[in-house]
Structure 1
Amino acid sequence: CCVPLQILAGKPAARKSPSDLLDASAVSATSRYIEEQQATQQLIMDEQDQQLEMVSGSIQVLKHMSGRVGEELDEQGIMLDAFAQEMDHTQSRMDGV
């Protein structure tokens, strides 16, 4: 668009215009902001990863515990069935007396 006359004449530009300085400053500030946001997001993701690992560990413990509870319930169910059969047998013997 607009090329300074000094550059067209082969002379180096003596100074940058205030708008050029503002543009460079804005780009630099934007870059710093983006870098800071990316660093913050990485920290958040790292923390979430640690929390997910803790949740995963807790889920594994709960899985193991629920398996043990299920086994215990199965064993108690078998014992209750045996007890019910024994009660039926005892009841039939008492009915015969």
Structure 2
Amino acid sequence: MRELLDKIETRQHLVRETIEQVRDQITALTGQLTAAERTLNRLETTRETILEPAAEDGTPPPEPLPAGYREILAHQTPTQAEIRRTLAEHPLRRVAFPDGSVRSHIVGL
């Protein structure tokens, strides 16, 4: 009988620890939710503030970026690593212009 009571006591202790951990997680998640809601509220206010003058002038609101636009830009814009690799593979040549300015150009591109 004593063994059974010890097992129950052990389980109670584990469940109390679990409850405390879950409460801590809820507190952390509540903080994250509050911060996310504040950010969303600020973004909505910013959007309204930007669109307000356009509506007053009769100007149509700006069009949102088309779907996939950011992905297209990401493929067209070289990364820092790609720029470094290009510069390493192709030397720079300084070119003097008649106006006295000097610019560097990548040789071979």
TM class by smaller structure: 0.5 to 0.7
Higher relative contact order (CA 8 A, sep 6+): 2
TM-score of the superposition, structure 1-length normalised?
0.56
For residues 1-97 of structure 1, the aligned pairs below 5 Å read 17-73=2-58
CA distance in 1, matches of 2:57, 2:50: 10
Once superposed, what is the RMSD of the aligned Cα atoms?
1.5
Structure having the higher helix fraction is 1
Equivalent residue for 2:67?
none
Tell me by how many angstroms 1:22 deviates.
0.6
Gaps of 5+ in 1: 1-15, 75-97
Per-residue CA deviations over 1:2-52 (Å, capped at 9, x if unaligned) read: xxxxxxxxxxxxxx8111111111001001001101111111111010010
Tell me by how many angstroms 1:66 deviates.
1.2
The runs of 4+ residues in structure 1 deviating greater than 6 Å are: none
TM-score of the superposition, structure 2-length normalised?
0.51
